[in-house]
Amino acid sequence: MTDNLRFKIGDIGLALDGEPRIKQSEIRAAYRPFITKDPSDIQLRMHLDPPEIPEGEKIFDSLPIWALYRHKDSLIIKLFETMNGLKRALCIHRDFSQADLYFTEPNGSFIDPFFGPTIELLMVNHLARIGSIIVHACGIDYCGKGLLFVGESGAGKSTLTRIWNKENGVEILSDDRIILRKKNDQYWMYGTPWHGDAQFASPAKVKLEKIFFIKHGQANSDKAVSGTFPVLQFLKASFPPYWDKNCMEFAMEFFNDLVAEVSCRELSFVPDAGIVEFVDNLL
């Protein structure tokens, strides 16, 4: 049995136990900085024996990677259903503090719980119920100031993090996924293990100071944005539980409040070191 491996992601404790046995040396590199001894908020139990999983009602899919079903008070996420050797099912129980991960392939040899979006999907559902959300963004701690660069795939998140990583006083929290939380009337951003091409993944957190919606341009330029524009940009570049009406209402309220309290700018940039000085002059 796993010796109760524990991780902390976005100040949320996650404990892994059950079968298969997992050694710390087998943990994917991106998750290792998140190992903790702190208490857990979520228990993820792993099982090698495939269960009888009810079909339930399909409520969302992102095929061919995963599909979400509801059965009574539980959510069932079936992953890689058409990919031999990778099939698994994640069952999330009603209070979202417990979940079961079943490796449903008979005699399957690939039993890595960190592969694919399994743990991220578990966290997406849990975070939405405690007033937090995951966004597609790179997050930078620049001398204690939290800079959030929001963008969909191809917007330049990994490029920006490689540039900023060469600067003094910089810690990259992530180049692709950032957790946003409001705690004690302040917005905080947290690194995650779900990195992009630049492979930055840090468990650090920093208070959010500035938000930039990024895109490639022929010159470095920016403009202030407010109202519905930044809210829509966040919705396009985030992953709230679209299948849950209450959680979607929370996401809209969260983003509306966020952009009203934290300065937002649209940033076009050229991928060279000049963007650092340009942003520094905006702070």
pLDDT at 170: 96
Helices (H), the chain: 118-128, 157-164, 228-236, 245-261, 274-280
From the list 161, 181, 184, 186, the residue with the least C-alpha distance to 172 is: 161
pLDDT in tens, 106-129: 666 678 899 999 999 999 999 988
Is a pLDDT exceeding 70 seen at residue 3?
A: no
Quote the CA–CA distance of 180 and 198 in Å, as a whole number: 21
CATH, residue 258: 3.90.228.20
Is a pLDDT exceeding 80 seen at residue 44?
A: yes
Q: Are residues 118 and 168 in the same domain?
A: no
Is a pLDDT exceeding 90 seen at residue 49?
A: no
From the list 267, 142, 133, the residue with the least C-alpha distance to 207 is: 142
Q: Which structure tokens are listed for 282?
A: 């905006």
**DSSP helix/strand/coil, 24:** helix
Quote the CA–CA distance of 17 and 62 in Å, as a whole number: 27
With tokens 């129980």, the residue in question is 93
pLDDT at 20: 75
Quote the CA–CA distance of 12 and 143 in Å, as a whole number: 25
Domain boundary residue, one of 113, 128, 143 = 128
Q: Are residues 141 and 274 in the same domain?
A: yes
pLDDT-derived band at 235 (thresholds 50, 70, 90) equals: very high
Radius of gyration of the chain (CA): 19
pLDDT at 1: 40
Q: What are the phi and psi torsion angles at 79 (to 5°)?
A: -115, 140
Q: Are residues 96 and 146 in the same domain?
A: no
Q: Are residues 84 and 187 in the same domain?
A: no
Q: Are residues 218 and 86 in the same domain?
A: no
Comparing 81 with 171, the larger pLDDT belongs to: 171
Cβ-based neighbours of 174, under 8 Å, separated by 6 or more:
137, 138, 139, 191, 192, 194, 195, 196, 200, 201, 202
Domain boundary residue, one of 128, 159, 176 = 128
Is a pLDDT exceeding 60 seen at residue 61?
A: yes
Q: Are residues 141 and 264 in the same domain?
A: yes
Structural domains counted in the chain: 2
Between 95-109, 127-141, 167-181, 226-240, the lowest mean confidence (pLDDT) is in 95-109
Q: What angle do CA 17, 21, 22 make, to 5 degrees?
A: 85
Residues of the chain above pLDDT 70, percent: 97
Quote the CA–CA distance of 169 and 165 in Å, as a whole number: 9
Residues of the chain above pLDDT 90, percent: 76
pLDDT at 52: 72
Task: State the average pLDDT for the chain.
Answer: 92
Q: Are residues 138 and 231 in the same domain?
A: yes
For range 174-196, the mean pLDDT: 96
CA end-to-end span of the chain, whole Å? 50
Residue 160 and residue 273 in contact, taking contact as beta carbons nearer than 8 Å: no
Is a pLDDT exceeding 50 seen at residue 2?
A: no
- For the chain, the farthest-separated pair of C-alpha atoms sits apart, in whole angstroms, at 59
Residue 32 and residue 203 in contact, taking contact as beta carbons nearer than 8 Å: no
pLDDT in tens, 65-109: 999 999 988 899 999 988 888 889 999 998 889 999 998 776 666
Q: Are residues 122 and 242 in the same domain?
A: no
From the list 230, 190, 189, 194, the residue with the least C-alpha distance to 212 is: 230
**Residue 108: domain span:** 5-128
Q: Are residues 109 and 154 in the same domain?
A: no
Give 129's strand partners.
none
pLDDT at 48: 84
Is a pLDDT exceeding 50 seen at residue 14?
A: yes
Q: Are residues 226 and 142 in the same domain?
A: yes
Domain boundary residue, one of 74, 100, 128 = 128
Q: Are residues 116 and 219 in the same domain?
A: no
pLDDT in tens, 186-207: 999 999 999 999 999 999 999 9
pLDDT at 229: 96
Is a pLDDT exceeding 90 seen at residue 166?
A: yes
Give 153's strand partners.
none
